Structure 1
Amino acid sequence: MEGRAAALGAGTILNALATGTGSAFAIDVETRATVELAADSDDVAGEIAEAPGAETDLVEECVSLATARWGNGQGGTVRTDSDVPLAAGLKSSSAAANATVLATCDALGLTVGDDQQDPAVDVTRLDACRLGVEAARNVGVTVTGAFDDATASMLGGATVTNNDADELLYRDERSWEVLVWTPPERAYSADADADRCANVAPMAELVADLALDGEYATAMTVNGLAFSAALGFSTDPAVEAMPHVNGVSLSGTGPSVVAVAEPTDPATDLDRVEQLWDARPGVVRRTTTRTDGATILDS
C-alpha cells in the first residue's frame, strides 16, 4: 500500500487575502510525496526531506482525511521532498498537500482523473484539491484556504477562484518564461496581516476583473504593487523588472517576486532582469509555466 505523486509550485496573479478571489499560475518546480499505508494503525507520521525539523501537520492531516474519506481510516507514513522553497510565497504548502493527497489515493489503489462522469475515475483532481485545502485550513497554515494556489498546483495553467466557496471560476493555459527571485528571509502565509490587505480591496477587485478578462500579466503587476505595500515589502525588484517583462508580482504573501515573459515577445528581456536580481541577496531561478498539473508517479 504505497503511493507516489508530484504537484507543482505556483506564482501569484491575485492574492486572495483582500476579497476572497484569487488567481495563480503553475510553474515548473515540484514537490513529491511518498505515502505508505498501514492497515493495522490509524497514526500518521510525516517527514520533510529538506527540513527534517519542520512541522508535518499538513501532510499528516492530508493522509488522515484521504483515508477517512476514500479508505478505511488507515495510518502510515508520508515523506515529501521538494524543489519548492518553504515559506517563500511559491505555494509549497499547496504543492505538498496536493502531492500527499494524490499519493494517498495511489496507495489506496484509486484511479484519479478529471472527468467526474467517467465511471473509471474514483477521485477527481479537483476533489483531491479541495481535500488538501480542507487539511490546510484544519492545521492553520493558510488564512484564505488558498484554493487559488491549490488549483494552479493541481490542475496546471492559470486559475481564478472564489476561495470563500472553494469554487473554480476559470482556468486558462499560458506559456511563459518565468524568473523568480527569493530573498533569504521567509514569510508564513498564516502570519500575514489580513486587515492591511483588506485596505487594498479596490485594487484587488480591479485585478480580478483583469484576470477574468485574460489580462493575467497586467493583473499580476497591479497585484504586486498593491500587496507589496500592504505587506511591507519593497517594490524595487518589481519596478526594475517592469520595462523588461510582461508581468511581475510579489508571490503570495512573499517574499519571492515572480516575473513572466511571453517567449515570442521581442520587447521582453529576462536575461536583463536576471542580471539585476542576481545583484540582490538570495536565489534567482529561471523556469517556465506548466499546464499538466499534479500527477501520480510510478512506484
Structure 2
Amino acid sequence: MDGRASALAAGTVLNALACGKGSAFAIDAETTAEVTLDDSGTVSGEVAEDPDADTRLVERCVELAVAEYGETAVNEQFGGHVRTESEVPMAAGLKSSSAAANATVLATLDALGVTGDVSREDACRLGVRAARDVGVTVTGAFDDASASMLGGVTVTDNRTDELLAREEISWDVLVWTPPERAYSADADASRCERIAPVAELVADLALDRRYADAMTVNGFAFCAALGFSADPMVEALPDVAGVSLSGTGPSFVAVGEEDRLRDVRSRWNEREGTTWQTTTRNDGGRTR
C-alpha cells in the first residue's frame, strides 16, 4: 500500500502567536512525501535532507490518518514508513513542518485509496492535530497549514481551526533566509501576546484583502517581539508592496513587482544566507 503526495511552502501575512488569528500564502517550493503501509506494527520516518531530523510529526500524521480513515483490519496491525524530500529549508519560517505534515497525510490517504473521500480542509486539520500532539507548534499552525494545503492566501482562527477567508493570488515573491535557524515551538509566546492589539489590526487588514499592508505591519511588530532586526524590511521598502518576517523567522518574504524585487534581491544578496525569487501557487497539496 504505497502513496505519494506533495504540499507547498508558505510565507507569512500574520503570525498567529499574538492573537490566535493568522494568515499565510503558498509559494512555489514543494515538500514530497512517500508512504508505504505494511503490517510491521510500527511507523518509521526519514527526512532525505537530514538523516538525524526529528520524524515524530510525519510518523504521527501516518498514525492519525490510518486511525481516522483506514479500515478496521488495517488499524489493528498496521505499520509503515514515510520518507519526505523537500525544497523548503527546515526551521526557516517557511512552513516546512506544515508542508511535511500535509504531504504525509495526503500520501497516507493515497496509500489507503481514500483520497477522494476526504476534503483537503479535513486532511489539513489532521496534520494540525499531529503537530499539536508532538509539540512542534504553539498555535497549531492552521494558518500555515491551510495555505500549504489549499494554495493561495488564507486567513484563519487557529483557536478554532476555522478558515475565515481564502483567495487565489498571483504575486511575485522574494525570500531571504539567513544561515541560522529558529524553531516555532521555541518562540516566546507570552512576549508575542503583548502585541495582540497590533495583530488584531493586521487581521482586519488581511480580512479587508489588504494583504501587503498587513504583511508589513506584522513584520515590524514581530521583529520587535521576537528580537529580529528589521533592517531587511527597511532595505526592501519602498520598492515592494509588502515585506515581513516569515513565521517566527529567520526568513523574510517580500511581494511586489518582479523588476522591483530584483533590485531588492541585489541588496539582500549582500547579506549572508540564501536569496531566491519565486511566485505564489494556488493549487496547494496534491497526490502524485
Shorter-chain TM-score range? over 0.9
Preserved CA contact (<8 Å) 1:63 1:101: yes
CA distance in 2, matches of 1:174, 1:129: 20
Partner of 1:33: 33
Q: Does 1:215 align with 2:247?
A: no
With structure 2 as the length reference, what TM-score do the two structures score?
0.97
Correspondent of 2:92 among 78, 88, 96: 88
Q: Which runs of 4+ in 1 moved over 3 A?
A: none
Deviation at 1:41, TM superposition (A): 2.8
Runs of at least 5 residues in structure 2 that lack an aligned partner in the other structure = none
Aligned partner of 2:17: which letter? L
Runs of at least 5 residues in structure 1 that lack an aligned partner in the other structure = 113-121
Correspondent of 1:103 among 94, 101, 107: 107
CA distance in 1, matches of 2:115, 2:86: 24
Preserved CA contact (<8 Å) 1:31 1:80: yes
| Mapping 1:142-181, distance limit 5 Å | 142-181=137-176
Report how many aligned residue pairs link the two structures. 283
Partner of 1:138: 133
Q: Percent identity?
A: 70
Partner of 2:24: 24
CA distance in 2, matches of 1:292, 1:67: 25
Partner of 1:275: 266
- In structure 1, the residue corresponding to 2:237 is in which secondary structure? helix
Partner of 1:75: 79
With structure 1 as the length reference, what TM-score do the two structures score?
0.93
1:179-233 Cα offsets, whole Å, 9 max, x none, are 0000000000000000110111111010000000000000000000000100000
Q: Does 1:294 align with 2:279?
A: no
CA distance in 1, matches of 2:188, 2:226: 7
Correspondent of 1:123 among 118, 123, 132: 118
CA distance in 2, matches of 1:50, 1:80: 9
CA distance in 2, matches of 1:135, 1:56: 12
1:115-164 Cα offsets, whole Å, 9 max, x none, are xxxxxxx1110000000000000000000000000000000000000000
Partner of 1:230: 225
Task: Write 1 or 2 for the structure with the bigger share of helix.
Answer: 2
Partner of 1:46: 45
